[in-house]
Amino acid sequence: MKSIFTKLMLTAAVVTAPFMASADGHSDDLTYILVSHAPDSDSWWNTIKNGIALAGDQMGVTVEYRNPPTGDLADMARIIEQAAASQPDGIITTLADYDVLAGPITAAVDQGIDVIIMNSGTPEQTREVGALMFVGQPEYDAGLAAGQRAKGDGVESFVCVNHVISNTVVGERCRGFADGLGVDLGDSMIDSGQDPAEIKNRVTAYLTANPETDAILTLGPTSADPTILAVQEMGIAGDIYFGTFDLGTEIVKGIKDGTIQWGIDQQPFLQAYLPVVVLANYDRYGVLPGNNINSGPGFVTADALGKVEEFAGEFR
């Protein structure tokens, strides 16, 4: 990994799509398209862009990144259809909502396009749409592990701040956390939206109305960053148990100063990098891993920041 990070640090800026490369001399002109559900405002996906940039460079293939600018899933479905119509050698896509996206993904597979599901979705859903494999973090299992850890730390109640309520798979993190604690999810999951000011207000309102709440669980930087501000303004930073999914600059600062107990790293870099490598080797040599690839979860705490702090928001 040292050589990978060294090469990444030589990159002057985050590479945007399309990213074209032929560094290793291959002349088979392979083209892949990665379609995500993320809106343009979600900086967490910069790591995904860096992952496909490096993989494209190393494998000598063209990789394009496409997404719905506002995060609208119906728009994402159309983008998948457009990607399939261009007949790429492969499509890498999230499966943020099975009901909305299964149709266009299955249609792409039926056209003979190799598909890998990454980040959002499940291995079961991956099989149902006919994709080659799933690369990502099993969301329920990650939430369960987080809940069991929090239970061991004495937590009995929590609020889950869900900024992507339409993404039912991500919501499994909240359900897993509740099951890990051994409590009902009930009203403990709030739909925070994605506006930072509104997230801060809704978290503040919930904690004010439910002062007995032991813990906060956020699902990524979009919800974690405003929640950090909320607990700071309420004067409870470091007193209320705070765990989060994913990493980012403010999250790492929060772990370092004691506001956040841990962050769960699903390693988005690998979620983007590995599918490109797998598809290129599958197209060229017919080799394919026999199982899905779990990229997480891994707990990041204050005593294990190291390179995580150095690369948070870019490659971690």
CA distances from 268 to 121, 141, 177, 264, 305 (A): 14, 17, 21, 11, 17
Compute the distance between CA of residue 28 and CA of residue 18 in angstroms, rounded to an integer: 17
198 in Cβ contact with 192 (< 8 Å): yes
Report d(CA 119, CA 112) in Å as an integer.
Answer: 22
CA-to-CA separations, 248 to 55, 74, 110, 260, in angstroms, rounded:
22, 28, 38, 12
The pLDDT value recorded for residue 194 is 93
Q: How far is CA 267 from CA 126, 300, 308, in A?
A: 20, 11, 10
Identify the residue whose tokens are 């890998």.
Answer: 116
Contacts of 127 (CB under 8 A, 6+ apart): none
The model scores a pTM over 0.95: no
- Domains in the chain and their CATH numbers? 2-137+267-295 (3.40.50.2300), 139-265 (3.40.50.2300)
The answer to which of 20-34, 65-79, 128-142, 291-305 has the lowest mean pLDDT is 20-34
Say what the pLDDT of residue 213 is: 98
Task: Tokens 């004495």: give the residue.
Answer: 154
Per-residue confidence (pLDDT) for residue 247, from 0 to 100: 86
Look at residue 19 in the predicted model and tell me its pLDDT. 44
d(CA 57, CA 270): 15
**Alpha carbon distance 74, 69 (integer Å):** 12
To 5 degrees, how large is the angle CA 93–CA 142–CA 247?
Answer: 70
Q: Could you give the CA distance from residue 219 to residue 217 in angstroms, rounded to a whole number?
A: 7
Question: Sign of torsion, CA 155 161 166 169?
Answer: negative
Higher-pLDDT residue of 10, 221: 221
Q: Are 274 and 135 in contact (CB under 8 A)?
A: yes
Tokens representing residue 216 in the block = 């906060």
The candidate with the shortest Cα–Cα distance to 67, out of 133, 8, 120, is: 120
Is the pLDDT assigned to residue 126 strictly greater than 60?
Answer: yes
Strand pairing partners for 118?
135
Q: In whole angstroms, what is the distance from residue 121 CA to residue 49 CA? A: 19
First to last CA, the chain: 12
Q: Which residue has the higher pLDDT, 22 or 176?
A: 176
The pLDDT tens digits for 58-114 are 999 999 999 999 999 999 999 999 999 999 999 999 999 999 999 999 999 999 999
Residue 293 above 60 pLDDT? yes
Residues with Cβ within 8 Å of residue 315, at least 6 apart in sequence: 5, 8, 47, 50, 51, 269
The chain-wide mean pLDDT, for the chain, equals 90
pLDDT tens for each residue of 8-60:
444 433 344 444 444 445 557 999 999 999 999 888 899 999 999 999 999 99
